[in-house]
Amino acid sequence: MNATHTPRIFSGIQPSGGLTLGNYLGALKRFAEYQDSGLETIYCLVDLHALTVWQDPAALIEQTREAAAAFMAAGVDPARSILFNQSQVPAHAELSWLLSCVARVGWMDRMTQFKDKGGKDRERVSLALYAYPALMAADILVYHATAVPVGEDQKQHLELTRDIAAKFNHDYGVDFFPITNPLIEGAATRVMSLRDGSKKMSKSDPSDASRINLTDDADTIAQKIRKARTDADPLPGSMEGLKDRPEARNLVNIYAALSGEGTDQVLARFEGQGFGAFKPALAEVAVAVLAPITSRMTELKSDPAEIDRILGDGAERAEAIARPIVERTKEIMGMIRSRG
Q: Is the dihedral of CA 300, 305, 306, 307 positive or negative?
A: positive
Measure the CA–CA gap between 73 and 292, rounded to whole angstroms. 8
Annotated catalytic residue 203: yes
Of 136, 116, 96, 113, which Cα lies nearest the Cα of 12?
A: 136
Q: How far is the CB of 165 from ligand AQP (least distance, A)?
A: 19
Which positions from 202 through 241 interact with ligand AQP, judged by CB under 6 A?
202-204
Q: For residue 230, give the H/E element and its range.
A: none
Using the rule CB under 6 A, is 95 a contact of ligand AQP?
A: no
Identify whether 155 is a catalytic site residue.
Answer: no
Site string for ligand AQP, 174-193 (x = CB under 6 A): --------------xxxx--
Q: List the one residue from 9, 10, 22, 147 that touches ligand AQP (CB under 6 A).
A: 22
The region of 22-30, 212-220, 234-242, 302-310 touching ligand AQP under the rule CB under 6 A is: 22-30
DSSP bridge pairs for 12: 44
Single out the segment in contact with ligand AQP by CB under 6 A; choices: 9-17, 127-135, 137-145, 316-324: 9-17
- Residues of this chain, 146-175, that bind ligand AQP according to CB under 6 A: 150-151, 153-154
CB 291 within 8 A of CB 56: no
With respect to ligand AQP, which residue has the nearer C-beta, 99 or 188?
188
CA–CA distance from 152 to each of 25, 55, 191 (Å)? 12, 25, 9
133 lines the binding site for ligand AQP (CB under 6 A): no
Contact status: 196 vs ligand AQP (CB under 6 A): no
Taking the C-alpha atoms of residue 47 and residue 1, their distance in angstroms, rounded to an integer, is 31
CB of 156 to ligand AQP, least distance (A): 11
Nearest CB to ligand AQP, comparing residues 202 and 294: 202
Strand partners, 149: 183
Cα distances (angstroms) measured from residue 236 to each of 254, 263, 264: 16, 11, 10
The verdict on whether 199 is a catalytic residue reads no
CA–CA distance, 71 with 29 (Å, rounded to integer): 9
Amino acid at 189: T
Which residues of this chain interact with ligand AQP, rule CB under 6 A?
A: 13-14, 16-17, 20, 22-23, 25-27, 150-151, 153-154, 188-191, 200-204
What positions carry a catalytic annotation? 117, 200, 203
